[in-house]
A and B are shown apart, each in its own frame.
Chain A
């Protein structure tokens, strides 16, 4: 699987294709991250966590609007893994032994890697989203997370026109809003 194929799979918004890419990444690069962990004299047991966080971050970076792969996947993944490990070690008051990576080629400076604060309210809304049904979840996912255009979402759903897709998204969002706004306690916390 070429680097470009991996990126396309990660950007596809389809679980099966994303899984295919992740499987490949596990097979090819788990050892690489493990060696980074070992080199920094950190317990090997955290490799799994670091690797998972790295893949999640890579997936987020790949799904940023206008993302273009300007290095190899290996270089990008290694740089992300270093960031992940650095953050973990920082919490323990330690520093990472850095390897020279062409950071200019790696788009990590923006907010893509910053985690979203998971408040109780967010968790509650998450549960409301999970009750929306698969298609609604998917359209909101493609629109808000993957930031796809309506035209692209229309193709994914095989809708007859973008107007149909817009309507689909508006209906789903409205259903979610109604549920959120219907929860007085939640609204009081939010506003």
Chain B
């Protein structure tokens, strides 16, 4: 047992230089320790390789997605077609821009559909307020910067989904839209509060004036991938219709 602890510390790099050196010397003298070490080292290596293999296989799937630049030579006779296509593209772009600014403004839409969400306290009755309760109290006083200061310095591993959502809303309220989007992404990646994460991310894109991103994001709420309340579905449909 003692040997295993020592081996574990060595393999995790927790021994200082002197102790590591002493351990290596011990390996040359103690046959039992050397045998145990050989097995543990191989297990350690296999764990590392297993983690790496999993990571690589996911990376492999992602690798089909990047856009890669391709250089090609365009034959002369096709240039006229390209010119015509470019003109059509410009006309299309003009039409799109016209419609983009001709429909209801994203800011108005955001104002129409965004309501600062409320968060309830964890405590019940006379129980002592939890850390979350204290943050909620600050949030209710609309001191969003203070909430950000508190939550953004906390190790993200320790934040439960409700805290992450709260942080995202505070970024949104303080006009730190990029950070809000990333925070909602994190929440979405955790697979928690998906309904809220996607809804507020979509609204953040609206606020940023990024109609297409807002549209794509909000459409996922209607895809049936996860549970969405009927009321929210109605609101999503209304926003998408207005966009």
**Chain A residues proximal to chain B, CB less than 8 Å:** 1-2, 5, 8-9, 12, 14-20, 22-23, 26-27, 30-31, 34, 47-48, 51-52, 55-56, 59-60, 65, 116-119, 121-123, 125-126, 128-130, 137, 140-141, 143-145, 147, 152, 155-156, 173, 176-177, 180-181, 187, 190-191
Min Cβ gap A23→B in Å is 6
Q: Which residues of B lie under 8 Å from residue A126 when comparing CB positions? A: 46, 49-50, 53
The size bracket of the interface on B is: 35 or more
Bound complex: CA of A156 vs CA of B156, how far in Å? 10
- Between B42, B67, B156, B191, the greatest number of chain A beta carbons within 10 A of the residue's beta carbon is seen for B42
Min Cβ gap A172→B in Å is 10
Q: What secondary structure prevails in chain A residues at the interface with B?
A: helix
Q: Which residues of B lie under 8 Å from residue A147 when comparing CB positions? A: 12-13
Q: Choose from B12, B66, B182 the contact partner of A30 (Cβ within 8 Å).
A: B66
Assuming the A-B contacts A122-B46, A180-B39, are A27 and B158 also in contact, with contact meaning beta carbons closer than 8 angstroms in the complex?
no
B80 at the interface (CB under 8 A from A): no
B38 at the interface (CB under 8 A from A): yes
Min Cβ gap B66→A in Å is 4
Known: A122-B46, A141-B50, A144-B44. 5 other contacts (CB 8 A): A15-B54, A30-B68, A116-B49, A176-B43, A190-B42
Bound complex: CA of A43 vs CA of B234, how far in Å? 52
The 6 closest A-B pairs by CB, nearest first: A125-B46, A16-B189, A26-B66, A30-B66, A145-B51, A191-B35
Bound complex: CA of A116 vs CA of B44, how far in Å? 10
**Chain B residues proximal to chain A, CB less than 8 Å:** 11-13, 35, 38-39, 42-56, 58-60, 62-63, 65-69, 155-158, 178, 182, 185-186, 189-191
Q: Choose from B39, B44, B51, B157 the contact partner of A190 (Cβ within 8 Å).
A: B39
Assuming the A-B contacts A17-B186, A180-B43, are A22 and B59 also in contact, with contact meaning beta carbons closer than 8 angstroms in the complex?
yes
Q: Which residues of A lie under 8 Å from residue B52 when comparing CB positions? A: 56, 60
Bound complex: CA of A119 vs CA of B46, how far in Å? 9
Q: Which residues of A lie under 8 Å from residue B38 when comparing CB positions? A: 190-191
